[in-house]
Amino acid sequence: MTVRTAELLMALMMGLFSIYLMYKSAELPIGWIEEEGPGGGLWPFWLSTIMLISCGGILFNWVRKKGAIATSTKVYIESHVLGDVLAVAIALIITVALFSFIGIYGALPLFLIFYLRFMGKHSWKLTGTLAILIPVVIFYFFEITLKIILPKGITEPLFLPLYKIFF
Residue pair 106/138 in contact (Cβ under 8 Å)? The answer is no
- The predicted model scores a pTM of 0.66
- Please check whether residue 45 is in contact with residue 26, taking contact to mean a CB–CB distance below 8 angstroms: yes
Q: Are residues 162 and 84 in the same domain?
A: yes
If asked whether residues 91 and 155 sit together in one domain, one would say: yes
Q: Which residues contact 92 (CB under 8 A, 6 or more apart)?
A: 111
The chain-wide mean pLDDT, for the chain, equals 94
Q: For the chain, how many structural domains are there in total?
A: 2
The confidence band for 133, taking pLDDT boundaries of 50, 70 and 90, is very high
Task: Give the bridge partners for 33, in sequence order.
Answer: 37
Residues 31 and 96 in one domain: no
Helices (H), 26-155: 42-64, 68-71, 79-102, 104-113, 124-138
Question: Do 76 and 6 touch, CB atoms closer than 8 A?
Answer: yes
Which residue range(s) make up the domain with 19? 3-71
Phi-psi region of 105 (alpha: psi -120 to 50; beta: other; left: phi over 0): alpha
26 Cβ partners below 8 Å, 6+ apart? 41, 45
Looking at the structure, do residues 111 and 50 belong to the same domain, yes or no?
Answer: no
Examine the fold and report which residue of 25, 46, 71 is the final residue of a domain before the chain moves on.
71
State which of 71, 97, 116 marks the end of a domain. 71
Domain end (from 21, 50, 71): 71
7 and 60 co-located in one domain: yes
**34 and 111: one domain?**
no
Rounded alpha-carbon distances, angstroms, from residue 84 to 74, 80, 109, 119: 20, 8, 19, 8
Residues 102 and 158 in one domain: yes
- The per-residue pLDDT for range 89-112, each reduced to its tens digit, is 999 999 999 999 999 999 999 999
Distance CA 161, CA 93 (A): 30
Q: Please report the pLDDT score of residue 152 as a whole number.
A: 94
65 with 92, same domain: the answer is no
